[in-house]
Amino acid sequence: MKKLNSLPLWNTKGNAYRGDTGYQNIGLTAFDVIKFESLELGNYGDFEHLNTTMLRELKSYSADNIIWVTKSKKQAKHYGEVCLIYMTGNERIIATDGDNGFLILKTKERDL
C-alpha cells in the first residue's frame, strides 16, 4: 500500500496564504480533519485517493500539521482574514479542492 511519502511534495519554498476560517482543531488529529472535511462538508472526492494505510498514518499527526493553503492572497481572502504561511518545500499535498486550494501536511521529510 502507498504511504504518505508517495503523495506529491509542495516543492516550493516560500510563502503561501490561508484564509482563517476560525475552525478549532484542539486535540484533533490530521485524520479527524479529513473526516470532518468528508462527512461534515461533503468533500468526499478530495480524498478518494487516500488509502487505509495513509489514513491510519494521518492519525499520528496533530491537526495542527494539516492546513488548507493557496498561492494567492486574493483566493485566500474568500475564506477569511488572510494569514501568511511559510512553506519549506517539504510539505506533502494531501488534497486539492479544484479552486486552487491545497491541503498540506506540514512535516519533516525524515518523519515519513
pLDDT given at position 108: 60
User: How many domains in the chain?
Assistant: 1
The structure's pTM equals 0.84
Mean pLDDT for the stretch of residues 91-112: 79
Which residue range is the domain that position 28 belongs to? Answer: 4-111
Higher-scoring residue by pLDDT: 60, 11:
60
Using the predicted structure, report yes or no on whether residue 111 has a pLDDT greater than 50: no
The 10s digit of each residue's pLDDT in 57-100 is 999 999 989 999 999 999 999 888 999 999 998 899 999 988 88
pLDDT given at position 1: 59
The CA distance from 32 to 19, in Å, is: 20
Q: Which three cell numbers stand for residue 55?
A: 489514513
How far out from the chain centre does Cα 58 lie? Answer: 11
CA distances, 27 to each of 30, 34, 61, 70 (Å) = 10, 14, 11, 25
